[in-house]
Structure 1
Amino acid sequence: MEAVKRKTASVISKIVGLLLAAVFISPVIILLLNVCKPLGEILSNPFSLPTSFYLDNIVYVIENMNYPRMLGNTIFCAVLVVVISVIISAMCGYKLSRTNDKKSKILLSVLMAAMMLPFQSIMLPISRVANTLHLNDSLLGYIVIVIPYYVPFAVFLYHAL
Structure 2
Amino acid sequence: MLFPQQNDRRNRLDLSGLWEFQLDPDEVGETEGWFAGLAAPRTIAVPASWNEQFEDTRDYMGVTWYLQQLYVPSSWQGDRIHLRVGSANYAAKVWVNGRHVGSHEGGHLPFTLDVTDAVQWQGENTIAIQVENKLMSTRVPAGSMSGDKPTGFMNNYPDTTF
Select the structure that is richer in helix.
1
Larger strand share, 1 or 2: 2
TM-score range, shorter chain: under 0.3
Choose between structure 1 and 2 for higher RCO, CA contacts under 8 A separated by at least 6 residues: 2
TM-score by length of 2: 0.21
State the TM-score, normalizing by the size of structure 1: 0.21
